[in-house]
Amino acid sequence: MEKIGKVLIVDDNKDILFSLKLLLKEYVELVYTENNPQKIPTLMKNETFDIILLDMNFTEDVITGQEGYYWLEKILEIDPLAVVIFITAYADVERAVKAIKTGATDFVQKPWQNEKFLATILSAIRLRKSKLEADNLRIKQKVLSAKLDQPFHDFIGNSPEMQNVFTTIEKVAKTDANVLILGENGTGKELVARALHRNSNRAEEVFLGIDMGAISETLFESELFGHVKGAFTDAKKDRPGRFEVASDGTLFLDEIGNLSIPLQAKLLSVIEKKEVVRVGSNKSRSVDVRLICATNLPIYQLATENKFRQDLLYRINTVEIHLPPLRERIQDIQPLAEHFLKIFTKKYNKKVKKISSAALKKLEKCKWFGNIRELQHTIERTIIMCDSDILQASDFILTSTDEKGDELVVDSYNLDEIENSVIQKALRKNKGNISQAAKELGLTRTSLYRRLEKYGL
């Protein structure tokens, strides 16, 4: 039999120490005994133990167990994941319950039955292993979440409009209030959502974002609420939905204005009850998410036209944050452009040092209907194509609108540039409605989404 785990036994009775060591040495990799509890901190500093067997009373004629509780507290301060099993000759239910509540894993009474005692030890070693694996997963998740979140840390804006946004985020982040973020495509709605999560009490938990416009009606319930094995043809195994995965963390529902009325009703039910039922199951599962929603559509107008449920709108907008379009905060264009300059010169190993004042003035005159995302795409493309160390006005190929706002003016005959412009015009005309814009462009929703991604819109 392979020996597993390392055990520390602390008891003032040397006979107890000897008999336990004799019993365990056949099953345990290392058994260390100590009769002086004062040495516990030093022992734990020099060795990592899977289990600590701890006597409750070290002073003669003392049976209160207070010494055991004291050392349990010290042990858990040193190693919060420690598995501690109390041993005492004066066990009773009340003391056992208090020991467990204090942080002990189990409670063994002297004299013990060897088979039962060994079962307790082996079970405790498995528990320790599970605790360490869970802790390791939490650390990996934290590192992974930090890496995924890194591109969203650079939230830039000196304008009064953006300072108001920052102030609102600071006030709201620590609460669990549902937040609705309104703004055109490319204004940074996900940046706001991630900033809210990062500064919340749920920051150590998962942040999960979903593009509601990209989920088909047939898969909506399965994606958001999960399914059980056999619920439908491709359901090969049980799968939790996004609400379950994000439980205790933050769930970001982007483009919520694109949901149909029937799907809005299902979403509202989950928000109100704080529980989901997986497809194919009757069992409800409690979920606890901080909900952040966003849309580029005129959601209040949709509610007035009965295209968006008023009761759902009330549920998701305890606090509302409006992101202004880039054309309404022109003073932010220079710091944003210079920020993207640093990112892409490093990414493409280019030696571009700055953007000329004339080029910045050209950027400030552009309408930027694709907002920050379009500006970012423009800077990236220009850096790739530029051969000099200063970006000049002539290096930028921009798309804008004339004073009437209808006729497209394109400084290029490049087909990609023209397609980009036409897509932006269709989106503006249809007020950001992807389905209507796709229909007018003669594209499927999926094809339009691919082009939006291609052009950074």
Judge residue 388's burial from the number of C-beta atoms within 10 Å of its C-beta, 0-12 exposed, 13-18 middle, 19 or more buried: exposed
At residue 401, the pLDDT reads: 42
Query: 158: closest CA among 328, 327, 324, 335?
Result: 335
CA distances (Å), origin 367, targets 147, 156, 188, 207, 315: 33, 19, 17, 33, 34
* CA–CA gap between residue 120 and residue 123 (Å, rounded): 5
Q: Are 84 and 104 in contact (CB under 8 A)?
A: yes
At residue 5, the pLDDT reads: 84
Q: Are 252 and 209 in contact (CB under 8 A)?
A: yes
* CA–CA gap between residue 410 and residue 397 (Å, rounded): 8
Where are the domains positioned within the chain? 6-136, 153-322, 326-454
At residue 267, the pLDDT reads: 95
* CA–CA gap between residue 51 and residue 71 (Å, rounded): 14
Q: What is the CATH number of domain 6-136?
A: 3.40.50.2300
Same fold, 6-136 and 153-322: yes
Q: Are 370 and 186 in contact (CB under 8 A)?
A: yes
* CA–CA gap between residue 224 and residue 220 (Å, rounded): 6
At residue 404, the pLDDT reads: 39
* CA–CA gap between residue 155 and residue 235 (Å, rounded): 40
What are the phi and psi torsion angles at 428 (to 5°)? -65, -45
Could you report the average pLDDT of every consecutive run of 10 residues in the chain (457 residues)? 82 88 87 91 90 80 70 90 82 66 80 84 87 76 61 75 93 96 93 93 91 88 92 86 93 94 95 94 93 95 95 95 94 94 93 93 90 92 91 81 44 68 81 81 80 79
At residue 90, the pLDDT reads: 60
Query: 55: closest CA among 13, 87, 17, 18?
Result: 87
Q: Is 136 helix (H, G, I), strand (E, B) or coil?
A: helix
* CATH C-level class of 326-454: mainly alpha
At residue 176, the pLDDT reads: 94
Q: What is the CATH number of domain 153-322?
A: 3.40.50.300
Cβ contacts of 6 within 8 Å, gap of 6 or more = 28, 29, 30, 31, 32, 47, 48, 49, 50, 51
Q: Are 264 and 309 in contact (CB under 8 A)?
A: yes
* CA–CA gap between residue 432 and residue 296 (Å, rounded): 6
User: Could you tell me the pTM of the whole model?
Assistant: 0.63
| Token pair listed for 370 | 């694709």
SS (H, E, C) 56-111: CCCCCCCCCCHHHHHHHHHHHHHCCCCCEEEEECCCCHHHHHHHHHHCCCEEEECC
At residue 218, the pLDDT reads: 86
Stated length of the chain: 457
At residue 402, the pLDDT reads: 38
pLDDT (tens digit, 9 = 90+) per residue, 181-192? 999 999 999 999
At residue 1, the pLDDT reads: 56
